[in-house]
Structure 1
Amino acid sequence: MAKRPQLTGRAAILAIVVCAIAMSLAYPVREYISLRRSIAELRAEKARVEAEKQALLERDRQTNDPNWIKKTAKERLFYCGAGEKCFVVMERQQPKQQTAVQQQPAAPPWYQTLWESVEAADQGTGRRAVTGKESVG
């Protein structure tokens, strides 16, 4: 009795066709998923912009209210209306506590130190650098 081969020609052709269909659908499916993700991001962005727009419209309505304008002028500009007595409370400045440790005077800037060393070298009053080998002469 002859044994039938496990992979027939028809099965091989069917497998190739199925693979070709899968490969041809892979790119469009990937693009579809990508576009759906983009649409979701754009919807979220649209919702954020709409909320910002509503907040700005509310602020615009608020700026047309004369009571809000007066209140804002009083808070920000310390505006005082006619016949009103307004006070501005200032914080009391605490006297600086003296520290027990005397502060060292600040070191002079580098350019002042450099210039003083140049002047000292010119006058010959500067300190002489001590090296291992000194020439006697």
Structure 2
Amino acid sequence: MPERGRQPRRRQDTTSGQRRGSDRARRTARPAGSEQESPPRPARTRRTADRARTGGAFGLSATRQAAVLAMVVCALALSIAVPLRTYLTQHAQVEQELAQQAQLQAQAEQLEQRKQQLSDPAQIQAEARSRLGMVMPGETPYTVQLPGDGQLADQHGSPQQQAANQPWFGQLWNSITGSGS
């Protein structure tokens, strides 16, 4: 590296001027048979020509262009995939909520109809008589039992009810043998 204030030395060669002149003469004067042949190009020019031939955009080869294109496509796919998945999930949730809302509205309509039915005092009285077995004051309730009704009740009763209907010694014997419950 030259020091400050000093300029690098120039070669002083008397033959270099002559060489330059002879190079110029060679470039301008061509032999008659060499018009079709071009002189060999310097290495730098050859590289740029190779790049222009093999690489299109940005001087990349076809393989590298394909790799860059694949990376760009993957990046776009990934940047679109997450919001798309979120959208589809939320869309499914909205559909589910709408179905649940429709079901609740149908249930509310049924309850409104039931409310209107129970607003009639005659309907309330009929429900109380059938479901609860209630009677009006001054009425005498009668229960009609058919011969087969008592046996069906015993068969379908719970084991505790059946055990409670047995006499005490039967309950004691069943508890000793373990066949009661």
- Give the TM interval when normalised to the shorter protein: 0.5 to 0.7
Q: Does 1:64 align with 2:119?
A: yes
Aligned equivalents of 1:84, 1:22: Cα separation in 2: 81
Which runs of 5 or more residues in structure 2 are unaligned? 1-49, 56-60, 155-172
**Alignment CA distance shift 1:34-1:107 (3 Å):** closer
Match of 1:39 in 2: 94
Structure 1 residues 67-91: Cα deviation after superposition (integer angstroms, max 9, x where no partner): 2112112212334457877632124
Deviations 1:13-72 (A, max 9, x none): 332222111110010111111111101110111111111111111111111112211211
> Which residue of 2 is the match for residue 28 of structure 1?
83
Matches within 5 A, 1:65-104: 65-81=120-136, 87-92=142-147, 93-94=150-151
Give RMSD over aligned pairs: 3.4
Give the secondary structure class of the aligned counterpart of 2:66. helix
Match of 2:107 among 52, 55, 77: 52
Q: SS of the counterpart of 1:108?
A: helix
Larger relative helix fraction: 2
Equivalent residue number for residue 108 of structure 1: 176
Range with bigger deviation, 52-61 or 78-87: 78-87
Aligned residue identity for 1:72: E
Give the Cα separation in 2 of the matches to 1:65 and 1:28.
Answer: 56
CA distance in 1, matches of 2:79, 2:114: 54
User: Could you say which structure has the larger radius of gyration?
Assistant: 2
Partner of 2:158 in structure 1? none
**What SS class does the counterpart of residue 90 from structure 1 fall into?**
coil
Structure 1 window deviating more from structure 2 (55-64 vs 75-84): it is 75-84
- Which structure 1 residue ranges, 5 or more long, are not aligned? 97-104, 111-137
Report the TM-score when normalising by structure 2: 0.44
The normalised TM-score by structure 1 is: 0.56
Counterpart check, 1:19 vs 2:74:
yes
Pick closer, same or farther for the CA change 1:91–1:40 going to 2, 3 Å: same
- Paired positions, count: 100
C-alpha distance in 1, partners of 2:175/2:100?
57
**Structure 2 vs 1, CA of residues 37 and 75 (structure 1 numbering), >3 Å: closer, same or farther?**
same
Identity %: 31
